[in-house]
Amino acid sequence: MIIYIAYVIFDCNLLMNNRLQLHQVALLRATINTMENGLSEILERLARAERELEQMRSGLGLLGVKRCSTCQAFFHSTDSAALFADGGESVCYGCIPTWWPARSETLPSIDRLPIEHRLVRWLVAHHNARLIQQSHKLPDESVQEFRLLTSCEQCEGTGKLLGGHCHYCGSQGAMWLVVPRVAD
Ligand SMILES: [Zn+2]
Ligand SMILES: [Zn+2]
C-alpha cells in the first residue's frame, strides 16, 4: 500500500513537472514570437528611415547643397573650396586634418596615392598650400594651419625619376604639404 501511494505521488510529481515544462515552452514560444514581430517592425522602420534619408539627400542635391560626411555640415556644391570629394565621401576643409590621416591608414597604397595626389592638388588650388622638400624649410608652426607628409607625385614616392634622382622631392619620395593659417 505504501509502495502504491509512493508510486502515485511520484506519478503526480512527474505529471506536474511535465505540465510545468509545457507551460514554460509555451511561454518561451510566445516570447520568441513577440521578439520576432518586434524585430521585423524595427527592420521595417529602419528601411523606411533609410528611404527617407536617400530622398532627402537627392532633394539636397537638387538644391545644390552637399554634406560633409564627417561633421555633417552643409555646403553649397558650387563652392569647390569647401568640400573635397574622394570618390565615395565628401569631406569639408575643416575636417581634412583629422580625416585624411585616419582614412589613408585604411587604404592600400594603390588606392591611397591617387586620392592623396588629388587632395594635394585641391589644397594647393583652393587653400594656398605649398609643397616643401626639406623639414628645415618648414615655416613657423604659428603660420601653419596644418601640414601633411605626402608621397611625391612626380616619382610616385620612389625618389627616382627617368633613371635618375627625383629633383622634385630631393630623392626622398615624400614631401611636406603645408597649408598656411589664414588670419582672422
Ligand atoms: Zn566636416
Ligand atoms: Zn619625387
| Residue-wise pLDDT tens digits, 121-163 | 999 999 999 999 988 899 999 999 999 999 999 999 999 999 8
Q: Three-state SS for 164?
A: strand
Instruction: Compute the distance between CA of residue 134 and CA of residue 40 in angstroms, rounded to an integer.
Output: 60
CA 48, 50, 53, 55 torsion-angle sign: negative
| Closest ligand to Cα 97 | 1
Rounded average pLDDT over 23-52: 89
pLDDT value of residue 11:
63
Reference 121, options 167, 146, 153; nearest CA is: 153
Domain count for the chain: 1
Express as a percent the part of the chain with pLDDT over 70: 90
Within-domain flag for 42: yes
- pLDDT 10s digits, 53-74: 888 877 877 888 889 999 999 9
Within-domain flag for 130: no
Within-domain flag for 133: no
Task: Count CB neighbours of 178 within 10 A.
Answer: 21
**Ligand 2 centroid distance, CA of 152 (Å):** 4
Q: Which domain holds residue 2?
A: 1-61
**Ligand 1 centroid distance, CA of 99 (Å):** 9
Residues lining ion ligand 2 (Cβ < 5 A) are 152, 154-155, 166, 168-169
> 19 pLDDT band (50/70/90 cuts)?
confident
**Ligand 1 centroid distance, CA of 66 (Å):** 11
Within-domain flag for 151: no
**Ligand 2 centroid distance, CA of 161 (Å):** 7
Reference 119, options 142, 140, 78, 147; nearest CA is: 147
Residues lining ion ligand 1 (Cβ < 5 A) are 68, 70-71, 92, 95
Within-domain flag for 138: no
C-alpha cell at 14: 512527474
Within-domain flag for 43: yes
| Closest ligand to Cα 70 | 1
pLDDT value of residue 120:
96
**Ligand 1 centroid distance, CA of 135 (Å):** 29
Within-domain flag for 86: no
Express as a percent the part of the chain with pLDDT over 90: 60
| Closest ligand to Cα 175 | 2
| Closest ligand to Cα 93 | 1
Within-domain flag for 12: yes
